[in-house]
Amino acid sequence: MKSGLNNENIFDYIESNMFSVLASKDRRVNYNLLVKIKEYIDTSAENHVNKEEIIDYLVQFVSTYVNLEFNDEDGKPILNQNLSDKVRYKIKQFSKCGWLSEDSDNDFNHYISLTDSAIEILKSLQNIIKNEDTPEEYTGFTYNIYTMVKNISLDKGTLLIEQINIARDNLSNSLQGLNTRIKRFLKKLLESQNISPEEILLELTSNYGSKVAFTVFDNLKSKDNPNKYSPEIISNLEKLLDDGIGGPLNSLILNYVVTKKLQNNPKGNEIAREFFVNSINKTINFYQNIDNVISFIDHSNAKYLSNTKNILNFILNNTRDVEGEINNTLKLIKKIGESKDNEVELTLENLSYISPIDEESTYKPRNYKNVKIQTELIEDNLTEEEIERVKKSIKLNDEYSRKNINKFIMEILNRKIVNENKTYFEIKDFEEIDTKALIKFFLAFAYSESKDIEYLVERDNTSFILDGHQIDNLIFRGK
């Protein structure tokens, strides 16, 4: 048994902390600075630029933004320094992490260049963004394979099979990534801070199919379906595996040996045979299963979309929950909005349904606990006009948004640290809790697993009585 991971590894070639700048709290700033450095060097006639020039360029870039946070290597904010000093620190940090190389000439002028690893990594990261905006037209790969297989020339067989391998792998990788791309689109849409839930639902119901990635996928299922070409691709490739006397496989092997200059290699024919048999069989297996791949993506797409809509309906309080009426909570918020002193009747049973909403919720079923009913629920129904008015009051840009709920919790935690030297608080410890605050606590629990939330929350299986209602206790801590 091997004692450790002694095989070839990427960290044999790059700095061990290279990716730390892309995992830090200020990773967005770091990425943008690295991209700007690459852009500046790309426009230069040489592969390096004057250090002072690039610092001036970056300072001009970051000065167009407000409230950018620069952190040091320990993740602490860089304070009491001007932009130029902050940029200089980042240049030094990037150099230590293996992104930049710094040299000087005889006149002590300092120059900056990107390392070879940095160039390749940044190109790959930028391609991810590019492919998100302009995804591959998947059918081009299949049609090219179909054309090459249909008109294959044995004296060019090695080159053609290599090109088929590239097209097949590109198509396979694109299809694998499409499933993630669909889920990421829905996740970003659900987490948007700039549009209301109603607008998100409109995006999903009316505009969803027009998105580039989904248009391409719809075409892949219909007019550009690879199954139109699969039977001929498979049939022609199977014929190439005929290794009888005068069969095409032997001609392909001879072409490979000559092309790769293996005439003097005693294993030349064996290497060639293995290349063609493995390559051809892999392509055959791919097209025999491509219908299942497309069906799986289609099924996942429908599931993600359906569950995302369900979550939005939950946020909008516009549907019946699994075990109760959300309308009572709508009524409560409506009364709070109309009340001057917030002294309104407490009807919070429905808040017991709430559980965290995060990216997993877009494809995992949500389970709701049984509600502990202490009093009768109000029976009167809201009018459509009232429901619409209440919906508008809880759009994502108001006090019940994820951003403002996060701010509400963090302000309490900060006060606890300053006044009581405590890093957490429990809602049962509050001597008085008004209705609006209690709603915010439960919404904070619902938002707690979103990526931009700065606190942690847990239920400790205890409860307390508030105005005749049994309320589950929640414990909040800073991350």
Say if CB 191 and CB 406 are below 8 A apart.
Answer: no
**Is residue 1, in this structure, part of any structural domain at all?**
no
To 10 degrees, the CA torsion angle through 415, 421, 426, 431? Answer: -70
User: pLDDT in tens for each of the 479 residues of the chain?
Assistant: 455 556 678 888 889 899 999 999 999 999 999 999 999 998 887 778 899 999 999 999 999 887 788 999 988 889 888 999 999 999 999 999 999 998 888 888 899 999 999 999 999 998 888 776 665 556 578 888 888 998 888 888 999 999 999 988 888 877 777 767 766 766 666 666 566 655 665 665 555 555 545 565 666 776 667 888 899 999 999 999 988 887 899 999 999 999 999 999 999 999 999 999 999 999 999 999 888 888 877 777 666 666 665 555 555 543 333 333 334 444 444 444 444 444 433 334 444 444 554 444 443 443 433 333 333 333 445 455 655 555 555 444 456 677 888 889 999 998 888 888 888 899 888 877 877 787 788 778 877 777 778 888 887 778 877 766 677 788 998 87
Cα separation values, 81 from 102, 225, 293, Å? 23, 58, 54
Q: Which of 314, 347, 365 is the last residue of a domain?
A: 314
CB count in 10 Å sphere of residue 261 = 9
Domain identity same for 104 and 147: no
Among residues 271, 295, 314, which one ends one of the domains?
A: 314
Residues 331, 291, single domain; the answer is no
Residue 112 lies in a domain: yes
Q: Domain with 95 in it: what CATH number?
A: 1.10.10.10
Phi and psi torsions of 182, nearest 5°: -65, -45
Residue with tokens 């219909």: 222
Residue 71's domain comprises 10-124
Query: Does a structural domain hold residue 4?
Result: no
d(CA 361, CA 303): 11
Could you write out the DSSP letters of every residue in 161-189?
Answer: HHHHHHHHHHHHHHHHHHHHHHHHHHHHH
Q: Starting at the earlier edge strand, list the strands of the sheet with 455-466.
A: 424-426, 469-478, 455-466
- Pairing mode, strands 100-104 and 424-426: unpaired
Burial tier of 350 (Cβ tally within 10 Å: 0-12, 13-18, 19+): buried
- Whether 228 and 376 share a structural domain: no
Q: Could you give the number of structural domains in the chain?
A: 3
SS3 42: helix
Residue 376 DSSP symbol: P
Residues 307 and 236 in one domain: yes
- What's the length of the chain? 479
CA gap 275, 267 in Å, rounded: 12
CA gap 289, 285 in Å, rounded = 6
Are residues 47 and 166 part of one domain?
A: no
Name every residue whose Cβ is closer than 8 Å to that of residue 397 and which is 6 or more positions away in sequence: 193, 194, 196
Residues 441 and 351 in one domain: yes
Count other Cβ atoms within 10 Å, centred on residue 227.
12
**Quick check: is 2 in a domain?**
no
Q: Are residues 383 and 474 in the same domain?
A: yes
Collapsing DSSP to helix, strand or coil, 138 comes out as coil
Q: In 317-358, where does DSSP find H-type helix?
A: 327-338
Distance CA 365, CA 306 (A): 11
Q: Answer yes or no: is 238 within a domain.
A: yes
pTM beyond cutoff 0.75: no
Q: Which of 90, 124, 158 is the endpoint of a domain?
A: 124
What are the φ/ψ torsions at residue 318 (nearest 5 degrees)? Answer: -115, 5
φ, ψ of residue 477 in degrees (nearest 5): -135, 155
